[in-house]
A and B are shown apart, each in its own frame.
Chain A
Amino acid sequence: MSEELNKYDEVEKAVDNPSEERIRLKLRDDAAFAKEVAFHAGLKKAISDQGAFEFEAMLTEVEDRLYNSKKSNLRIVRWAISIAASIVLIIGAYTLMEWRAADPEYLFAQHFQAYQPGHTDRSAETVVTDELRAFEAYEQGNYERAIALFSNLLIEQDNPQYRLLLAISWMQQDQPGQAIPALKDILSENDTSYQVEAAWYLALAYLQMGELPEAKAQLKRVEASNSKFSPLARQVLEEL
């Protein structure tokens, strides 16, 4: 997903800086790229033309007045249009709020924070172990490296904390589908450490995936867990 997220970056850069040497050459030599850039430039031009939007809206209003309404009293029509505009505005604002509130991915973005593992003073460690490298990568936000290192560590030793940090790293990489099995594994283990954390992040992973029923079910479990995540889960459930 993160790679896909960047798929328009180069094209958008070319729209904004067509005279940059590297872009200029690519536009000259790569017809498909030039076509793509022309399309995106057209989109930008069309959408940012506020005057055209207003002119088209005015034409539609004139057409409605002339052809879709039998009322001849212009004042009544104008009054109705202004009332309608107010209603549209209110509905629009309400819809925007609803859209934001009910949007699971929005809620995920609002509530997701990377878990901070308990502080361990590793400065005295003279041997740089894979575990140390994995924690460092995670703490420094190098989640791609953290995924590789924690995955290797898990081959050697099953550890719920490794699983949790691996799952959160996947979520940071916008791949909740990879995080969910790791979190479920923690919840199915006999070892009760990190269960609450796993349940909370599992709920967030479902939100990130847009899977609302699963997210709600998981949030209810977290809410009932009487843990530090319970108030957060309650808040998200209320927002949903």
Chain B
Amino acid sequence: MAKDEEFIHALKTGDSKYIEHIYREYLPAISQFVNKNNGNNEDARDIFQEALVILHQKLKQPGFELTSSVFTYIFAICKNLWLKRLEKSRKLRVTFLDQQELSIVDELDSHIEKESQYRLYRKKFRELTAGCQKILELFFGGHSMKEITKIMDFGSVQYTKKRKFKCKEKLISLIQEDDQFKELT
């Protein structure tokens, strides 16, 4: 249990030393599960990272407490994520969640879905040019077009508006073209 507390603290604060321990201890079991169910190690790492992000976000919410061990949570989330992917890609569904895993997934259900979407949005955002990332970062951060024009040293607000529009269009098309987005919606 002391180990769990350390892991919870690491997940809350993003302590990479303990996060590394989490990978070493828990990823092999997830890989085994994914490999047995039409996936590979890369798939396993992807859903494992997604599960850690979900748990990190959830643990930051005031009042949230784990009702099972860290491993049970991570495994339940990973299983759920992988089964959903199998279902969407019409591969054979071979494994089901047990009762405890079901209750964890029910508890986190809407959070899991939203976090999966947000993670995809951030992943696609990283594919934009540095300039586009900066403009959208400022825009989503609540800066006005006038402020962005000044910060980016653009010639006019109209140009900034146009550039922001194009960057947002690019981001949206990257997201919508991704197979995972189609799976999530």
Contacts and interface: CB of A to CB of B under 8 A. Distances in A.
Chain A, interface size: which category? 35 or more
A55 B118 contact: no
Contact of B122 (A56, A95, A111): A56
A106 B129 CA distance: 14
A99 B133 CA distance: 12
Chain B, interface size: which category? 35 or more
B183 to A, nearest CB: 15
Interface string B125-155: 1000111001011001110000000000011
Nearest to B119: A56
B141 A5 contact: no
A109 B56 CA distance: 43
Contacts, number: 103
B19 interface: yes
A89 to B, nearest CB: 11
Contact of A67 (B16, B45, B129, B159): B45
Contacts of A53: 122
A90 to B, nearest CB: 12
B9 to A, nearest CB: 14
Q: Enumerate the 5 nearest inter-chain pairs by beta-carbon distance, A residue then B residue, closest first.
A: A109-B159, A46-B118, A109-B155, A46-B121, A48-B140
11 contacts: A5-B162, A8-B165, A47-B121, A52-B119, A55-B56, A58-B19, A59-B52, A63-B45, A66-B24, A105-B162, A109-B156
Interface of B: 14, 16, 19-20, 23-24, 45, 49, 52-53, 56-57, 60, 114, 117-119, 121-122, 125, 129-131, 134, 136-137, 140-142, 154-156, 158-159, 161-163, 165, 168, 171-172
Interface of A: 1, 4-5, 7-8, 42-49, 51-56, 58-63, 65-67, 92, 95-96, 99-100, 103, 105-106, 108-112, 174
